[in-house]
Amino acid sequence: MIDHEELKQLLLTAINATIKAGALIMEVYNSNDFQVNLKSDATPLTLADRKAHQEIVSCLMKTRIPLMSEEGRDLHYEERKGWEYFWLVDPLDGTKEFIKRNGEFTVNIALVYKGFPIIGVVYVPVINQLYFAMQTLGSFRVDNFDKEIESIDKLDELTNNENKLPYKIRQRPLTIVVSRSHPSEETQEFIEKMREEQGNIELIARGSSLKICMVAEGNADLYPRFGSTTEWDTAAGQAVAEMAGCEIVSLEDGKRIIYNKEDIINPWFIVRRSVN
């Protein structure tokens, strides 16, 4: 197994890859040429998705760890089923939000070991907000961050109590965060059920993996997802959430979301503070 110091170096590499990709995304975001195309599943693909993917692959290939990306080539299960470690990447999570120019999109990179994420990096390029997590270190958020990290020592400076998640949870109604672009009847039914049980609740809509990160921060209590997502949508956020004391579990059987399945579609799930 990769040791602690090697994992920190991989975390550093992943953080720097998200920063570089975020800068390229913002170049497109601030232009008038998104070059939007539709993929085979009718989801949008922009020039920013493609540029971010290429940059991240260039950064991570140096680690000699295999990689699966939303914008990469389709990898048959037979080709990847034996992977012990692999990078799982969504170069631009929240492409619909990117096209709407509402800022709610992220760059997601996770390192998966034996089916579960052990490193997660989520970067919000519009506001230069960085989330990162690693086993044995914990989960962190750093604001106003847009520069590459030069060394492990500089990384260690970011892993302090001021940046550590979750934040102290203020007194407030039960807060549920939901998808801005993917509403569903089941989600509405869940909200109504919570309203009946809890009385007053607060409802927040967000795009991309920001929803998972809000629960990790302690600024939301629940994120129910009654709808289709794929493994690259959730892996980095899952690392950030789990290492901040949350859980992300299937609504079918209550088990942790697992990665590198033959079918890369996730079950419906919920993100919440751990009940253990």
Q: Choose the final residue of a domain: 158, 186, 207.
A: 158
Q: Is residue 204 part of a domain?
A: yes
pLDDT band at 42 (very low <50, low <70, confident <90, very high): low
pLDDT at 249: 97
Strands 201-206 and 174-179: parallel
Is 74 in the same domain as 104? Answer: yes
pLDDT at 164: 97
Q: What angle do CA 119, 121, 123 make, to 5 degrees?
A: 180
Q: Choose the final residue of a domain: 158, 187, 213.
A: 158
pLDDT at 168: 86
pLDDT at position 276 over 60? no
Is 104 in the same domain as 235? Answer: no
pLDDT in tens, 3-27: 999 999 999 999 999 999 999 999 9
Report how far residue 251's alpha carbon sits from residue 18's, in angstroms, rounded to the nearest whole number.
30
pLDDT in tens, 56-75: 999 999 999 999 999 887 89
DSSP H/E element including 97: helix 95-100
Average pLDDT over residues 257-276: 91
Is 21 in the same domain as 71? Answer: yes
Q: Is residue 98 part of a domain?
A: yes
pLDDT at 40: 66
CATH number of the structural domain spanning residue 113: 3.30.540.10
Q: CA separation (Å) from 47 to 27, 37, 197, 214, 250?
A: 10, 9, 45, 28, 33
Q: CA separation (Å) from 61 to 69, 92, 210?
A: 12, 18, 26
Into how many domains does the chain fold?
2
pLDDT at position 138 over 70? yes
Identify whether the C-beta of residue 163 lies closer than 8 Å to the C-beta of residue 141: yes
pLDDT in tens, 233-260: 999 999 999 999 999 999 999 999 999 9
Is 154 in the same domain as 186? Answer: no
Is 49 in the same domain as 133? Answer: yes
Dihedral over alpha carbons 257, 227, 243, 129 (to 10 degrees): 140
pLDDT at position 142 over 60? yes
pLDDT at 275: 56
Q: Is residue 168 part of a domain?
A: no
Average pLDDT over residues 120-144: 97
pLDDT in tens, 67-120: 999 988 789 999 999 999 999 999 999 998 999 999 999 999 999 999 999 999
pLDDT at 4: 94
Q: Is residue 86 part of a domain?
A: yes
Is 135 in the same domain as 188? Answer: no
CATH number of the structural domain spanning residue 208: 3.40.190.80
pTM: predicted TM-score of the whole model, two decimal places:
0.95
Classify 35 as helix, strand or coil: coil
Least Cα distance to 212 among 272, 125, 143 occurs for 272
Q: Is residue 165 part of a domain?
A: no
pLDDT at 273: 83
Is 197 in the same domain as 245? Answer: yes
Length of the chain: 276
pLDDT at 181: 80
Q: Is residue 169 part of a domain?
A: no
Cis peptide, bond prior to residue 224, ω within 30 of zero? no
pLDDT at 37: 85
Lowest mean pLDDT among 71-75, 139-143, 204-208: 71-75
Is 35 in the same domain as 134? Answer: yes
Is 193 in the same domain as 102? Answer: no
Is 199 in the same domain as 258? Answer: yes
pLDDT at 112: 98
Q: Is residue 166 part of a domain?
A: no
Is 12 in the same domain as 149? Answer: yes
Q: Is residue 167 part of a domain?
A: no
Q: Choose the final residue of a domain: 124, 158, 192.
A: 158
Q: What residues make up the domain containing 37?
A: 4-158
Is 94 in the same domain as 224? Answer: no
pLDDT at position 155 over 80? yes
pLDDT at 274: 72
Identify whether the C-beta of residue 112 lies closer than 8 Å to the C-beta of residue 118: yes
pLDDT at position 220 over 70? yes
